[in-house]
Amino acid sequence: MTLNRKNNQSWKALSRKGYARTLAATKVWVSTTGPSELVGTRYYEVLASGTTLLLCNAPASPSVYDGLFEDGVHVVTFRDTPELREKVLFYLAHEGARRKIVQAAHALASSLHTWGARARFISQVAERALDQRHASQLPYYTPPPEASKLEASSRYLGCYDVPGGSASQLLASGLREPARSRNRRKLWRYTVQLCQAACEGDGFGLSEGGFSSGNAHAQARCLCATGTGGDALQARLSRRANDAECATACSLHDARPCGGARALALFARLA
C-alpha cells in the first residue's frame, strides 16, 4: 500500500491506478529495505516504470543487492539522511544523468525482473534439480500422517461465488463460524485441516485464504455447515465459480483449496 499525504494532516491510501499514476509522475522514488533488509516488489515496479529513478538505502550487507541491480547504473543508493538529500537535489537538477539511470533500470527490469523471466529462471532451477536427483531417493516431501488422514475423510464439492463478495452473507445459508475464528491480530487463522477439525457438521467451507489478500501466507476464514450436510448446502449456493478462484492452498501440508477473496471452497465430510 502506498500512502499519499494531503494538507499535512492525514494520509490517504492510493488505489492501484492512483499508485501507477503517482509512480509515473514522480522523478525520484525512495524505497528502503527496512530492518529485515528485504528487497520488496516496489523496487522492481520503480525499475520497470521507465519514468522514475529509484533511490534506495545502502544495506549493511552489500550482498543484499547482489545480482539484482548496480548502484549508479540502475539505482542510486544513500547511506544517511544528508546523502539522501544531496542525491535527491542532484538528480532533480540533472535530468540527463537521471534519465540515463532510469533507462538502464527499465532495460534491466524488462530482461530479468518480469514475472515471465522469473518463472523461466525458477523452472530452470527446478529442472536442474530434477535431472540431478536419483529415482531411488526419498520423495521430496511427505505430508504429516494426520494431514493425509483428514484429506481422505472429506470430499471437495467445488468453488462457489460468495453473494455480494462477503462471506458474512453466507451465514444465512446455514453456515456458522467456529469459536475464536480470528487470532489476536484479527486475522483469519484456518487452514483446510484446521477448519475440518473445528467443524462438527457434515460440511465446511473456506474463503479469503491463500493469495487472496496479496499475502502468500494468509490463512482462511472457516465456515461450518449447521443443520445440513455439505451437499445440501451446495444446492443453496447461487452459482458455481471458476475453480481457479479457490485454487490456492493455505498450508504447505495440505494442497486442498482454501477459497479466495470472493469465493468459497466447499467440502463435504465423508461418512
Residue-wise pLDDT for 231-268, tens only, equals: 556 656 657 888 888 888 888 778 889 888 888 898 98
- Determine which of 63-72, 73-82, 115-124, 152-161 has the lowest per-residue pLDDT on average: 152-161
Give residue-wise pLDDT tens across range 119-157: 999 999 988 888 877 666 766 667 677 666 777 788 888
Q: At which residue does the C-alpha cell 450436510 appear?
A: 229
Cβ–Cβ under 8 Å, residues 28 and 88: yes
Runs of H (alpha helix) within the chain: 16-24, 41-49, 81-93, 95-112, 115-132, 145-152, 192-198, 230-236
Q: How many Å apart are CA 206 and CA 145, to the nearest integer?
A: 22
Asked whether the CA dihedral 192, 198, 204, 210 is positive or negative, the reply is: negative
Q: How many Å apart are CA 61 and CA 226, to the nearest integer?
A: 55
Cβ–Cβ under 8 Å, residues 167 and 237: no
- pTM for the model: 0.54
- Collapsed DSSP state (helix, strand, coil) of residue 233: helix
CATH class for domain 3-121? alpha beta
Q: Where are the domains of the chain?
A: 3-121, 145-269
Give residue-wise pLDDT tens across range 153-189: 888 888 988 766 555 556 556 678 887 777 666 667 8
